[in-house]
Amino acid sequence: MLILGFESSCDETGVALVDASGSGTPRLLGHALHSQIEMHQAYGGVVPELASRDHIRRVLPLTDAVMQQAGLPLSAVDAIAYTRGPGLAGALLVGSGVACAMAMALGKPVMPVHHLEGHLLSPFLSADPPEFPFVALLVSGGHTQLMRVDGVGRYELLGETIDDAAGEAFDKSAKLLGLGYPGGPALSKLAEQGSATAYKFPRPLLHSGDLDFSFAGLKTAVLTQVKRLANERPEGPATPQLAAALNETQKADVAASVQAAIVDVLVKKSLSAVRSTGLKRLVVAGGVGANSRLRAQLNAECARLGLRVHYPELHLCTDNGAMIALAAGLRFQAQGWPAGADAAGYPFDVLPRWPLSSLA
């Protein structure tokens, strides 16, 4: 069962081919990605219309590259998967349109996939795949959630952010430090030169007793600190010049301190979730899962507590087509094709807002 998967929910066009034959974990046969980051950088964030147009330009050449890697013709594909949501409506429509058109031309079924389910299951493509059940920490640019995962499609939301996502906290702090978009990786790199204890930033909801997160206040705390270091009034505007008034040590110290605050909260809440469910396994997925401090701290804590922790391969932490083809493959193995996914039904629909907990 060869499944071709398309990811186009935001600013990465991803295409991949997996082999989901038999009952073993689907194997990745080919995988190609184009990141639009450079194109959006000039605007300080993703411009949805530009994103859609670029997905259109990239998706077919990437598909050719994937089939070439696999050494197979397109006619060998048995089914096509695409990201149905959540994400940018226009960007999602490119993936769904191409997937449905290609499936119709080939006379093969399509399978719509939830983007976060793709992230959640992506560690199954790693050298050290998890086993069900586990607690999942989903940390991306738009989501921060703790889920109990008992199997494919069996997801229970344990807690989530009540405002900004962890990735947003990284990105907004990075912007204040003049690090561009998306700032997570740049902030993390700069933090290596700084002191994590230089500034005391809040750890929101650390002791709230539930598994929810809040990161919106952190941005204000970072802004206040940056203004103080720049000798600006607290009530003054947040201008791009603020960061320029800081020296390199100050910037690195702010980066290290804010990263420590975000990571402390993510680690503490993840361990609380593992404790409250009584499970022994943690899976971390989504772009922020690439963060080295988060990985180091979770590895140390899980080793101390006798827990297993699993991550996607580093290059599959951020958005990609492999996780979409994989999620479709695991679903196919667990449940067969969903109703309407046969060759007669090409839904061509997207769900820009789609809670993962509504999946069955």
Residue from 19, 160, 171, 212 binding ligand KG4 (CB under 6 A): 171
Nearest distance, CB of residue 285 and Zn ion, angstroms: 9
**What is the C-alpha separation between 157 and 244, in angstroms, rounded?**
42
> Which residues sit opposite 147 in a β-bridge?
136, 157
Of residues 127 through 146, those in contact with Zn ion by CB under 5 A are 140
In the chain, the largest separation of any two C-alpha atoms, in whole Å, equals: 66
Nearest distance, CB of residue 12 and Zn ion, angstroms: 8
Cβ nearer to ligand KG4, comparing 284 with 290: 290
Of residues 7 through 36, those in contact with ligand KG4 by CB under 6 A are 10
Residue from 170, 199, 201, 332 binding ligand KG4 (CB under 6 A): 170
95-126 in b/e form (b: 16+ CB < 10 A) is bbbbbbebbeebebbbbbbbbbbbbbbbbbbb
Q: Which does 167 bind (CB under 5 to 8 A by kind): ligand KG4, Zn ion, none?
A: ligand KG4
Question: What would the x/- binding string for ligand KG4 be over residues 228 to 267, using CB under 6 A?
Answer: ----------------------------------------
Strand, coil or helix: what is 245? coil
Residue from 184, 194, 312, 321 binding ligand KG4 (CB under 6 A): 184
Beta-carbon-side half-sphere exposure of residue 342 (alpha carbons within 13 Å): 3
Of residues 317 through 336, those in contact with Zn ion by CB under 5 A are 319
Query: Could you say whether residue 257 binds Zn ion (CB under 5 A)?
Result: no
Phi first, then psi: give them for residue 326, nearest 5 degrees: -65, -45
Q: Which does 291 bind (CB under 5 to 8 A by kind): Zn ion, ligand KG4, none?
A: ligand KG4
Residues binding Zn ion (CB under 5 A)? 140, 319
Would you tell me which residues interact with ligand KG4 (CB under 6 A)?
10, 119, 140-142, 167, 170-171, 182-185, 188, 286-288, 290-291, 318-319
